[in-house]
Amino acid sequence: MISSVYIHIPFCEKICAYCDFCKMFYNEKIVDKYLDELENEVNSLYRGELIKTIYIGGGTPSSLNIKQLERLFEITDKFKRNNFCEFTIECNFSNTTEEKLKLFKEKGINRLSFGLETTSNMQLDFLEREENLENTKETIRLAKKLGFDNINVDLMYALPGEEISDLNKDLEFINSLDIEHVSCYSLIIEEHTKLGINNIENIDSDLDYKMYQTICGFMKDNGFNHYEISNYSKEGYESRHNLVYWNNEEYYGFGLGASAYINNRRVSNTRSISHYLKGSYLLEEEILEKDDLVYYEIMLNLRKSSGIDLEKLYLLYKVRLEYNELVNKGLLVLDNNNLYIPEDKWYISNEIIIRLLEGIVYE
């Protein structure tokens, strides 16, 4: 039974130089048309299930004006949900006004996710991000005053020229915001982005690793639980929506470039706005065979500190894993029926998962 919904709002006021997401410049008329088509897509696919998590991501959902946000919430009101539904919206500090925050509160949003990325004005210029650092503290203060008590901030590290001391400044700043959740991603330079076209190179992998360790240590010392490779939360504030992905559970995905996982199919929507506005949503779908289902179950669950439930894996797919060698080498830990990658080995999790996938035994 599907109980989660992702909605993509691809509009941004400025395009960041590293951005590989499905996004386009904000244009008032196109946004209005987009919201009409989004409603059509929801009407055509949603089957009335009780929804436990909704995530409005982007792009920059907070770039929409008040009228457009009200229209967006008319669409999300179509989802049957109870008081426990986790309802997240992604925001940028530069365009999240008090009026918008009040509207979010009124419409049932109970989790805010802000893109901060860095506190260095020089790095913000390099990344070509539209941000106003002066707004950051004030926006968080306002959000808390309005009753938001589940706030995430995204941090990006491994920026060219960044040093450990710069990272520490970012971490101290984020900690001073007294928020519940932090997502930390290293900058990956993709070829077709502006940084890639300009031949900007990723930082040295040793420094990248040291930065990852610095973040792990800082977060632990400041009361955050490292519950997923890139995510840290205070006790009880794990992102329930993102856990749906990592638990390999099904979800709807609406909007330009959105992905969904429904009835053993992984579906991707078109990234072409002209196709989408004509009602042609689908780009491709992958029908999952047993091998694929097992692969996703292992690969996604091992991103979490709790790892994979081997009994569930066996009951679902009648497969066992040969993990003894990896456990003996300290690359995996077996705790009752759960197999997980220890935190100090998450940095090489891809290699560990590939080796584990080589040892699948089908009955």
Residues in touch with ligand SF4 (CB under 6 A):
12, 15-16, 19, 21, 23, 58-60, 115
Q: Which tokens is 119 given? A: 């506190």
Round to whole Å and give the CA distance between 280 and 282.
Answer: 6
User: With respect to ligand SF4, which residue has the nearer C-beta, 32 or 128?
Assistant: 128
Find the shortest distance in angstroms from Cβ 90 to ligand SF4. Answer: 8
Find the shortest distance in angstroms from Cβ 105 to ligand SF4. Answer: 23
User: With respect to ligand SF4, which residue has the nearer C-beta, 60 or 96?
Assistant: 60
- Does residue 8 contact residue 258 with C-beta atoms inside 8 Å? yes
Residue 55 main-chain phi, psi, to 5 deg: -130, 115
Amino acid at 116: L
Residue 227 main-chain phi, psi, to 5 deg: -95, -10
Among candidates 57, 66, 68, which has minimal Cα distance to 152?
A: 57
- Does residue 322 contact residue 359 with C-beta atoms inside 8 Å? yes
Find the shortest distance in angstroms from Cβ 14 to ligand SF4. Answer: 7
Find the shortest distance in angstroms from Cβ 113 to ligand SF4. Answer: 11
User: With respect to ligand SF4, which residue has the nearer C-beta, 15 or 103?
Assistant: 15
Find the shortest distance in angstroms from Cβ 61 to ligand SF4. Answer: 10
Find the shortest distance in angstroms from Cβ 56 to ligand SF4. Answer: 13
Round to whole Å and give the CA distance between 338 and 90.
Answer: 32
Find the shortest distance in angstroms from Cβ 187 to ligand SF4. Answer: 11
Cα-based distances in Å from 22 to 98, 161, 258, 337, 349: 27, 27, 8, 39, 26
Find the shortest distance in angstroms from Cβ 59 to ligand SF4. Answer: 5
User: With respect to ligand SF4, which residue has the nearer C-beta, 18 or 340?
Assistant: 18
User: With respect to ligand SF4, which residue has the nearer C-beta, 85 or 189?
Assistant: 189
User: With respect to ligand SF4, which residue has the nearer C-beta, 195 or 298?
Assistant: 195
User: With respect to ligand SF4, which residue has the nearer C-beta, 115 or 255?
Assistant: 115
3-class state of residue 88 by DSSP: strand
Long-range contacts of residues 135-139, Cβ cutoff 8 Å, at least 24 apart:
135/93, 135/94, 135/96, 136/93, 136/177, 137/177, 139/93, 139/96, 139/101, 139/114
- Does residue 361 contact residue 320 with C-beta atoms inside 8 Å? yes
User: With respect to ligand SF4, which residue has the nearer C-beta, 154 or 309?
Assistant: 154
